[in-house]
Amino acid sequence: MSSSSQPTPGPWYYRPSQTRHIVSETGESVCRVHRGKKAQHNGPLLAASRQMLEALEAATQVMPLGEEYDAVVEAIAKAKGETK
C-alpha cells in the first residue's frame, strides 16, 4: 500500500441490523458485508481487522525473532497489500 493510500482510520464497527456495513468511528462506510451464512461471523472479524493489524505491528516490537515473528510480519505485509 503506497503512502498516499491509507486505510480508513479505526476503530471500525459492524452494523449487522442496519446495512451490514463496516463503518468508521465517524460513520464513514469502510465496506459492506454481503448476506449469507457467514456474514454474522465475517462482519465482526472485518470490523476488528484494523485493530488486529495495529496490535500485530506493536507485537513485532517485543517479539523474539523466529517462526512466529516471521508469520506475524508476513500477515502484516498481506494486510497492507505488500505481498505477491
Residue 40 placed within a domain: yes
What are the pLDDT digits (tens) for 20-78?
Answer: 888 888 888 888 888 777 878 888 898 899 899 999 999 999 999 999 999 999 999 99
The DSSP code for 61 is T
Whole-model pTM: value is: 0.75
Residue 2 placed within a domain: no
Full domain range(s) for residue 73: 12-79
Residue 5 placed within a domain: no
Residue 28 placed within a domain: yes
Total of domains in the chain: 1
Residue 7 placed within a domain: no
The DSSP code for 32 is E
First to last CA, the chain: 12
